[in-house]
Every structure is written in C-alpha cells, then in structure tokens.
C-alpha cells in the first residue's frame, strides 16, 4: 500500500500468540510497533526490548499510549474490557479469537467499533492459511455436500481457562462458515473430559442453513498434531493438510470406483502476516475487514451452543 501512513501499533498480552503478533508486526512496513502490554513486567520488558518498543504493565497505560491500531491477545475474559476502551479511544482493534468470553461482550465490542467508526477485526488466523484459501477457490463453483475437519494434538501446557471447543473448534467453525457462506443452524455436540478440568475431546456435528453437513473432531489427547480439512462436493473430494499445506483434489470417479487426482497449488505465506496485512488494508481503505466482529460473534455463539452455554 504505497503512500499510506505508518500506523502506531501495540500488542496487548504477549503470551504465545501475542509474541507472534509482535514479531510479525515489527517486520511489516505498515506498522510501527511502539507499545507492548503484559501485566507480568518481566514478560513485557523482554518482548518490548526485543522489538525496541515501550513496555507497559496496565491496561490503562496501554489504552493511553496514543496508538493507531492494536492487537488484543490477552486471556479471553479481558478482550471486551480492553477492546472497548481502545475503540473508544479511536484505536483500530484486531482481537484474537474468540472475540470475547460472552455474546454480550462481543456485542459491546461490535457496538463500540460502529459508534467510533473504527475497524474491529477478529483473529481467525486459519482463514489466511494458504491451504484453506486453495480449498475455497477449488469449491467456489461447485456445490458443497459435506465438510470434515480434524484438529487434534497433545495437551498444551499453556491452557487453563477454556477447553478444546473455545481453543480449537472455533477455528473450524469459522472455516466451515467461510467455505459455505452459510450459517450453522443445527448443533449436535458430544463432549468428554479425560485429563483436563474442561472438555478435552469434542465430536461436533452441524447442519448449515444451505443443507451442508459438517463434522469437527478435536481433542488434546492425541500424541501427535493433525490438522486436516476434507470437503466433498457434487463433483470432487478435496483433502487439505493445514500443517504441510498440501492440497489434493480427487475427481472424475470411474465405474470401477477409481478417481483421478491432482495436487493444487498452495502458495507459501505466513498466515499471521496475511491476517495483519488484511487488518492494515481495512484500516487504510475503509473496506469491510476479512473477519468481522459479526463473524466472531457467530463463531462464538456456535461454540457456546456446543458447550450448552448459549
């Protein structure tokens, strides 16, 4: 984006995801990373020093830092409090998924963005996975019948407040809505707890408004990490590995049951950089952000329905 002003940029919450945002933003010409917030002074100081930014240890100091744009990557329960305060200060906000802890908090953020004419985008980073983009293009002119997503792996030590539905399945709820352009109307969840305080295994079945059926398998009990997306359409079957970004299309089924296959190009790109570029583009052009606050709200609503909390 030539001749666009550099945005004074901050990151609130520099755990795993926040540090990644700080790293990527510091490398982008669209942003000048000036401020890092974390209540842990040692963490804030360390990340800020790495990127020549100023560390702050309170949300108020972050809100008052004179930013143009910010990422909110704090624990979910703080998203709305910090997000609304930033929006009311005139700061554009990219909030990590899920948008907020409750539907009411999500709506507060959406309302604050509209009232202050600021961009509110939700960090659904898998939208920007090149493999997901490849699948989206491959099914664009076809009728989707079903979607199957597997997102499993070992228990992450960093988790504590949420289970697999909020931490993992929200990614896939968004992918399903993104690929179909339709809303989830029926939810059939099966949840189990093996080792965690909250659900660490979930089998989620959905029916969408346009008739597509979808299934998500997600857990923290598998010893290895798997991220696969399978889409069946009227004419083809597509399999994408969201880690290796390899996408295979099966088509032209023969009477003997065999298929032709072809590999689909999946361009190398860091999804988080693509996400931050989209955020900057929405700020500079005024176009609707790639993942809106309303998208985040819908994803959260479906996740909470799966948990019996909506």
Q: Which two tokens stand for residue 204?
A: 């989620």
Taking residues 229-242, what's their average pLDDT? 97
Q: What pLDDT score does 266 carry?
A: 79
Q: Which two tokens stand for residue 111?
A: 């309302």
Residue 290 has pLDDT above 80, yes or no: yes
Taking residues 31-55, what's their average pLDDT? 98
* Lowest pLDDT segment from 40-49, 166-175, 190-199: 190-199
Alpha helix positions (H), 39-102: 41-50, 59-63, 79-88
Taking residues 103-118, what's their average pLDDT? 98
Dist CA 151 CA 164 (whole Å): 10
Q: What pLDDT score does 245 carry?
A: 95
Q: Which two tokens stand for residue 49?
A: 């020093």
Res. 267 pLDDT band, cuts 50 70 90: confident
Taking residues 104-124, what's their average pLDDT? 98
Going from N- to C-terminal start, the domains of the chain cover 7-118, 127-269
Residue 53 has pLDDT above 50, yes or no: yes
Cα distances (Å, whole numbers) of residue 199 to 93, 159, 237: 30, 12, 31
Taking residues 242-262, what's their average pLDDT? 94
Q: Which two tokens stand for residue 96?
A: 């990590």
Helix axes 170-180, 293-306, angle to 10 degrees: 120
Q: Determine what percent of the chain is predicted with pLDDT higher than 70.
A: 97
Dist CA 240 CA 227 (whole Å): 8
Q: What pLDDT score does 1 carry?
A: 47
Which of 196 and 267 is assigned the larger pLDDT?
267
Q: What pLDDT score does 197 carry?
A: 82
Res. 159 pLDDT band, cuts 50 70 90: low
Taking residues 39-48, what's their average pLDDT? 98
Taking residues 275-279, what's their average pLDDT? 98
Taking residues 276-297, what's their average pLDDT? 98
Q: What pLDDT score does 160 carry?
A: 66
Looking at the structure, give the CATH architecture of the domain made up of residues 127-269: 2-Layer Sandwich (3.30)
Dist CA 12 CA 293 (whole Å): 18
Q: What pLDDT score does 49 carry?
A: 98
Which run of H or E residues covers position 229? strand 221-233
Homologous superfamily assigned to 7-118: NAD(P)-binding Rossmann-like Domain (3.40.50.720)
Q: What pLDDT score does 178 carry?
A: 98
Using alpha carbons, select from 281, 290, 265 the residue that is nearest to residue 130.
Answer: 265
- 183-235 per-position pLDDT tens digit: 999 999 999 998 778 899 999 999 999 999 999 999 999 999 999 999 999 99
**Per-chain mean pLDDT for the chain:** 96
Residue 242 has pLDDT above 90, yes or no: yes
């Amino acid at each position: 984006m030539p001749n666009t002003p550099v945005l004074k940029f901050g990151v609130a919450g520099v755990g795993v995801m926040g540090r990644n945002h700080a790293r990527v933003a510091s490398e982008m010409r669209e942003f000048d990373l000036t401020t890092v917030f974390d209540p842990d002074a040692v963490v804030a100081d360390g990340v800020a020093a790495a990127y020549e930014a100023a560390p702050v240890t309170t949300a108020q100091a972050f809100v008052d830092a004179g930013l143009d744009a910010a990422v909110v990557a704090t624990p979910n329960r703080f998203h709305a409090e910090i997000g609304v305060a930033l929006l009311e200060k005139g700061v554009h906000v990219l909030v990590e998924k899920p948008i907020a802890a409750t539907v009411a908090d999500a709506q507060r953020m959406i309302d604050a963005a509209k009232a202050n004419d600021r961009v509110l985008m939700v960090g659904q980073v898998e939208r920007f996975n090149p493999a997901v983009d490849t699948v989206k293009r491959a099914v664009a002119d076809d009728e989707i019948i079903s979607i199957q997503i597997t997102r499993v792996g070992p228990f992450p030590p960093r988790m504590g407040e949420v289970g697999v539905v909020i931490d993992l399945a929200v990614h896939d709820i968004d992918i399903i809505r993104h690929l179909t352009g339709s809303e989830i109307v029926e939810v059939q969840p099966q949840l189990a707890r093996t080792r965690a305080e909250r659900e660490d295994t979930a089998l989620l079945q959905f029916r969408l408004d346009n008739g597509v059926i979808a299934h998500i398998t997600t857990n923290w009990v598998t010893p290895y990490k798997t991220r696969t997306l399978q889409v069946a359409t009227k004419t083809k079957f597509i399999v994408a590995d969201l880690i290796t970004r390899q996408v295979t299309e099966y088509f032209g089924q023969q009477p003997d049951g065999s298929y032709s296959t072809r590999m689909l190009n999946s361009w190398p790109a860091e999804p988080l950089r693509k996400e931050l570029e989209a955020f900057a583009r929405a700020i500079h052009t005024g176009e609707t952000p790639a993942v809106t606050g309303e998208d985040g709200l819908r994803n959260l609503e479906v996740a909470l329905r799966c948990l019996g909390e909506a």
